[in-house]
Amino acid sequence: NATSIGQSAFNNCTKLANISFPNATSIGNNAFYTCTALTSVSFPNATSIGSSAFYSCTALTSVSFPNATSIEGNTLSRCTSLTSVNIPLVKNIISYAFINSSKLTDIYLGYNGIVRLSNTNAFNGGPTNTIIHVRSEYADQYATATNWSSLISSGRLTIVGDYSD
């Protein structure tokens, strides 16, 4: 019944594999920092996810935060097994959000508009051919959007207009 997960609450918890907090609306900074056995998470109502919340959760393969509006700095950095992220309401992705998450192949963005990417550092040292799934009506706009355009032209990201609710 927890409605929030505090800062560093499960920091360095090496035996925690699966977590579900259906009522939690916020996840604090470093909440699951280096939880290396963590393979799945469920936070269907989380709107706020703190910086480095899942930093270096090396066994985590996919995450879905259906109500999160912002992905903070280092939130999913060094998640070396992470392949898929579903963040349909996110409006902002902050620096280093996915740094060194080299297996990340699919990110699903459902926001009605262009998701603000604070800078290209969100993907440093990480994925080299990630597909960004967006609503079809916004796909072309990403090609010229601030910070997205350089990642797209470099070949590091591909925008595909195939997202639907």
Give residue 165's pLDDT: 80
CA distance linking residue 79 with residue 101, whole number of Å: 5
pLDDT in tens, the chain (165 residues): 899 999 999 999 999 999 999 999 999 999 999 999 999 999 999 999 999 999 999 999 999 999 999 999 999 999 999 999 999 999 999 999 999 988 999 999 999 999 999 988 888 876 678 999 999 999 999 999 999 999 999 888 999 999 988
Q: Do 25 and 46 contact (CB within 8 A), yes or no?
A: yes
Sheet architecture: strand order including 84-86: 62-64, 84-86, 106-108, 130-133, 157-160
Q: Do 104 and 129 contact (CB within 8 A), yes or no?
A: no
CA distance linking residue 56 with residue 74, whole number of Å: 9
Give residue 156's pLDDT: 87
Give residue 127's pLDDT: 64
Q: What is the pTM of this model?
A: 0.93
Give residue 115's pLDDT: 96
Kindly give, in sequence order, each residue whose CB lies less than 8 Å from that of residue 151, ignoring residues fewer than 6 positions away: 117, 120, 123, 157
Give residue 4's pLDDT: 96
Query: Judging by beta carbons within 10 Å of its beta carbon (0-12, 13-18, 19+), is residue 161 exposed, middle or buried?
Result: middle
Bridge partners (DSSP) listed for residue 21: none
